[in-house]
Structure 1
Amino acid sequence: MNHNNSKLRKVILCGMFAAITAVFAQIEIPLPFVPISGQTLAVGLTATILGSRLGSVSMICYAAIGAIGAPVFAGFKGGAQIIAGPTGGYIIGFVAAAFLTGWILERTVFTLPMAIVANVAGMIVTLAFGAVQLKLVLDLSWTKALAVGVYPFLVVGVIKAFLASIAGIQVRNGLIRAKLLKKTTQAM
């Protein structure tokens, strides 16, 4: 495969996973401050399948598309005000979470147990970014920020990390068999 085809494939993969994240964002359970959404499941899937570099680029694309106003965030919302608002820390955290999740897998092995460890670590990063922004934007105490921005999401976050790991490893292996992804660590 020539270099241009390889670059095009990477761009398509990043765009595709940004779109998947936008679709998963619309699966939500409303809560007072921060809804439970499918975005974090999509972040875990993306990082488990694509690895650190392409996974984080996909999340940068997702955040950028939403920041310019496309309604890709939870509840069909979009705009820079969402990223600057109380829940924007989670979206920013998606980039770091995708990078960390993929990085852990690239430094170890793409297996289900390691994917679970990596996805739980990514979930913690997302929740940390979210809690910090909730505290700052809403001028909450740390106790309140953790109570509304972290604790309600721990159990469901672990469940989503587990689901992202199972599906991500299966899809990754299928893409490798189809020669759409290199076995090493990065997409072709």
Structure 2
Amino acid sequence: MSSQSTKLRDLIHCGIFAAITAVLAQLEIPLPLVPISGQTLAVGLAATILGSRKGALAMVCYVLLGTVGLPVFAGATGGIPILFGPTGGYIFAFIFTAFITGYYLEKTAFTIPHAMIANTLAMILALCLGTIWLKYAVKITWPVAIAGGVTPFIIPGLLKAFLASWIGVNVRKRLISANIMQETPTKHKKVPA
């Protein structure tokens, strides 16, 4: 496959995962400050399936779609005000958490246990970044920010980390075996010279 074909295929994969994130964002449980949504599940799936670079690029595409006003964020919202509102820190964190999840897997192995570790670490990072943003965006105290931006998300976050790991690793294997995507070399795999 030519380099140009590979780049086009990679862009298509990123676009597909930006769209999946937009769809899963609409599955939400409203809460007073920040809703529980399917966005973080989609971020974990993108990173577990695509790896660091393409997973992060998919999230950049997603954020850009929302920035221009398309209703891709939770609650079918979009636009710059959402990015500077209470949930903006979580949305920006998707880019970093996708990269970190994929990077961890590329340095270890694309297995369910490693994916669970990577997705759990990413969830913690997203909650930290999002809660810091929430505190300052809404001008609330740390206890209120933690109660509204961390506590309700721990159990759902662990569940989504498990689902992203299990589904992501299995889908990734099938896509590679179907030659729909190329396997990303990991630290433990020997790369042909």
TM-score, normalised relative to structure 1: 0.97
Aligned to 2:27: 27
**Superposed CA offset, 1:90-134 (max 9, x none):** 000100110110011000000000000000011111111110110
TM-score, normalised relative to structure 2: 0.94
Aligned to 1:177: 177
Aligned to 2:3: 3
**Superposed CA offset, 1:117-157 (max 9, x none):** 00001111111111011011111111211110011100110
**Superposed CA offset, 1:10-58 (max 9, x none):** 1100000000000000000111111100000000000000000000000
When residues 76 and 177 of structure 1 are mapped into structure 2, their CA distance, relative to the original with a 3 A threshold, is same
- Counterpart CA distance in 2 for 1:87 and 1:182 is 34
Aligned to 1:135: 135
The Cα RMSD (Å) is: 1.0
Q: CA deviation at 1:184?
A: 2.5
When residues 20 and 185 of structure 1 are mapped into structure 2, their CA distance, relative to the original with a 3 A threshold, is farther
**Superposed CA offset, 1:54-90 (max 9, x none):** 0000001000100100000001000011011111100
Q: CA deviation at 1:9?
A: 0.3
Q: CA deviation at 1:183?
A: 2.0
Aligned to 2:148: 148
- Counterpart CA distance in 1 for 2:126 and 2:132 is 10
Unaligned runs of 5+ in 2: 187-193
- Counterpart CA distance in 2 for 1:140 and 1:106 is 38
- Counterpart CA distance in 2 for 1:160 and 1:184 is 23
The question of 1:83 aligning with 2:63 is answered: no
Aligned to 1:16: 16
- Counterpart CA distance in 1 for 2:44 and 2:133 is 21
One-letter amino acid matched to 1:38: G
Aligned to 1:45: 45
Q: CA deviation at 1:185?
A: 4.3
Q: 3-state SS of the aligned residue for 2:75?
A: helix
CA contact (8 A) 1:51 1:185 kept: no
Identity rate, percent: 55
- Counterpart CA distance in 2 for 1:29 and 1:141 is 24
- Counterpart CA distance in 2 for 1:90 and 1:144 is 17
